[in-house]
Amino acid sequence: MEVTKQGGNNDLTFVILDIDGRNVVNSSFAGSINWGLTAQNPFGHVVLTSGAIKNFTFGFPTPLRYAKSLKLSVKVNEPGVAQIVANVIHGK
């Protein structure tokens, strides 16, 4: 999954992934950057920055399975966010 954010001034925008009603990911851009997840790492969780654009990517070593629902959401807790674009790559 990936979420791209344009703008904002403190990175307190949270990316949330729930599968079948269970939380799998709930992390802010700021938290991920503070944890040093700004380069390839064994966790599959990376935030990349290019100017005012920040891309939050989360991958898993094996495909995730869901029976009823896969919900990706974003909670914006900062002013100045102009745009959010999100994608989930999933199989059958």
Residue 92 lies in a domain: no
Residue 48 lies in a domain: yes
Residue 68 to residues 12, 18, 21, 22, 80, Cα–Cα distance (Å): 29, 11, 9, 11, 35
DSSP 78: S
Read off the pTM: 0.89
- Structurally, the chain folds into a number of domains equal to 1
Q: Give the domain extent around 12.
A: 2-87
pLDDT of residue 44: 87
Give the pLDDT means over successive 10-residue stretches in the chain (92 positions): 95 96 95 92 90 91 86 96 91 65
Q: Which two tokens stand for residue 37?
A: 């997840």
* Cα separation, 87 vs 70, whole angstroms: 12
Residue 35 lies in a domain: yes
Residue 27 lies in a domain: yes
pLDDT of residue 65: 84
Task: Give Cα 77 distance to the centre of its chain.
Answer: 14
pLDDT of residue 91: 67
pLDDT tens digits for range 39-53: 888 888 999 999 889
pLDDT of residue 92: 63
pLDDT of residue 60: 83
* Cα separation, 48 vs 70, whole angstroms: 24
